[in-house]
Structure 1
Amino acid sequence: MGLINFYHLTQSAPEQVLSNLASRALEQGWKIELRGRDLARLEQLDLALWSLGETSFLPHGMAGGPHDVLQPILLTMAPSGDGRQAVMAVDGAEVAASEADTHERVWILFDGHDPEALQKARAQWKALTSEGAKAAYWSEESGRWQKKAES
């Protein structure tokens, strides 16, 4: 079984971490599913991905369009099932343990300043690892990303 990476955000904005991870994944030639739980939040991320800088953006689209399968990054509220190499879950979006086997990378990003997000991430860790998924916990509390735990 593959590895599910939990990213505990305490210093960086979710959009910044998402941008860094997605940029590296796209450089590998991977297609990414950016999974959220709220359409309004996905629309905010949609805008952020278009305006990362004056001369750069991350190519993407919202799910439900005629060319979903072609989108390098697909913003969605449900698993796409179209063979993407990476899943990035934000805002407590669900991830199945089996997705670690069907994707090159799985990331769960959560806001360390939000008690509800912390509780959700802890519940996800417990559920996923109890189903046999291997997981790694990354924290940026020191100012740099460090692996703090692995199941």
Structure 2
Amino acid sequence: MQVDFYHLTQAPLDRVLPRICERVLAGGGRLLIVSESDDQRARLDKLLWTYEAESFLPHGQAGEGEADQPVLLVADVRAANHARNVALADGIWREEALAFDRAFHFFDEDRIGEARAAWKGLADREGVTRNYWKQDENGRWQKAA
């Protein structure tokens, strides 16, 4: 299982998450997006419909035909859409993410301490590959670890 830590320093989640969704869907996968915040899930729901004028990302929220949704927004880590990829959008690491094939853990400066603790906690886990991605001054993602 692979855990990708994304340190949001230049671009906000709203610019990064749709690209991750596109990549997962293009590869034939499904994605579970997790946030405890009702407000954040509502913002992300709107974002995924409107992030580009010419396109949208097919998705739904928990309780909306969950099994059929290629991208599902939820409050807890429960893959009702049979996703094998999970995006932790609120900066909170959850051990349940380890049940997926791949986890995307997004965090900003407000959650950096928690992200470091999660990174260290996964260091000796059997079968877990960690990647740490950070944006350079031009906003490009660079693998830092």
Percent identical among aligned pairs is 32
Q: Aligned to 2:122, what secondary structure does the other structure show?
A: helix
Alignment check: 8 A CA contact 1:35 1:93 kept: no
Matches within 5 A, 1:38-117: 38-65=37-64, 67-82=65-80, 83-96=82-95, 99=98, 102-103=100-101, 105-111=102-108, 114=109, 116-117=110-111
Paired residue type of 1:120: E
Alignment-derived partner of residue 137 in structure 1 = 132
Alignment check: 8 A CA contact 2:91 2:111 kept: yes
Segments of 5+ residues of structure 2 without an aligned counterpart are none
- Residue by residue over 1:41-70, the C-alpha shift from the partner in whole angstroms, topping out at 9 and shown as x without a partner, is 1111111111112221111111122x1011
TM-score, structure 2 length as denominator? 0.88
Alignment-derived partner of residue 114 in structure 2 = 120
Moved more, 30-39 or 139-148: 139-148
Alignment check: 8 A CA contact 1:97 1:128 kept: no
Cα RMSD (Å) of the superposition?
1.8
Measured in 2, the distance between the counterparts of 1:50 and 1:69 equals: 19
Measured in 2, the distance between the counterparts of 1:71 and 1:81 equals: 10
Moved more, 128-137 or 48-57: 128-137
Q: Does the C-alpha gap of structure 1 residues 12 and 98 become closer, same or farther in structure 2, counting only changes over 3 Å?
A: closer
Segments of 5+ residues of structure 1 without an aligned counterpart are none
Paired residue type of 1:122: R
Alignment check: 8 A CA contact 2:93 2:114 kept: no
Paired residue type of 1:117: R
Measured in 1, the distance between the counterparts of 2:96 and 2:123 equals: 8
Paired residue type of 1:48: L
Measured in 1, the distance between the counterparts of 2:86 and 2:137 equals: 26
Paired residue type of 1:137: Y
Confirm or deny that 1:5 pairs with 2:4. yes
Number of residues of Structure 1 aligned to a counterpart in Structure 2: 142
Deviation at 1:131, TM superposition (A): 3.9
TM-score, structure 1 length as denominator? 0.84
Deviation at 1:130, TM superposition (A): 4.4
